Amino acid sequence: MLAAILNVEHWIRAAGYPLLFLIVMAESSGLPVPGETALITASILASRGKLQIELVIVLAAVAAIVGDNIGYLIGRKGGRWALERPGRFHRQRRQVLETGEPFFERHGPKAVFFGRFILGLRVWASWLAGATRMPWRSFLLWNALGGICWATVIGLLSYYLGHAAGDAVKTFGLYGLAAAVLAIVTAVVAHRRHRRGQERKRSEHTTAEPAAHRSADE
């Protein structure tokens, strides 16, 4: 993730707002490019005074809506064929169709709105909406709401986290900040391992109890 942000940052610094718009629009239309990473990167740059956060959010929202509608049109005209055809990423595309289509048919509007916040679904949601013949007006409404909320939430979070990171570097230095991040990551990993161990023990205990009862009965 960090490498992706640093790589995108280089291009966003060079090309600015137009590149942000193009990347977000391309991802939203169905291309596997780092649209959300571009938004995060641009928002962090805005926290450093390189860009304007208001313009970053507006451009990202508009790009998301435009791109999603392009994806919807593609899905409407030939989405199923595009997802099922042989070739590169065939397995991933097929999996998207098999898991996403039933969910989409049951939860159409919610899938469009919340799909904007889910990595895999964000790329394919508009295609699936078109492929399942979701009414365009309903799609446009929920897509616009999702795009605006997504750009605002991700943009502002990244903006304020960028400020916080900058303040932390000033206070503790770069190495101090890196050590703090490493400590947090280590604590999270240790907690997850401990929880998995506890769940495994409970599962083994639950499995062992019926076996013990059967032995006693015999």
Domain ranges of the chain: 2-168
DSSP reduced 3-state for 87: coil
> How many CB atoms lie under 10 A from the CB of residue 92?
13
Residue pLDDT, tens place only, 99-118:
767 777 788 888 899 888 88
Residue pLDDT, tens place only, 17-42:
999 999 999 999 988 888 888 999 89
Residue pLDDT, tens place only, 62-105:
999 999 999 999 888 876 776 777 777 777 777 767 776 777 77
User: Quick one: tokens of 29?
Assistant: 């239309």
Q: Which of 31, 38, 47, 48 is nearest to 16 (CA)?
A: 38
Q: Mean pLDDT across the chain, nearest whole number? A: 79
What pLDDT is stored for residue 124 in this prediction?
77
Q: Which of 51, 57, 50, 49 is nearest to 24 (CA)?
A: 57
Q: Residue 50 belongs to what H/E stretch?
A: none
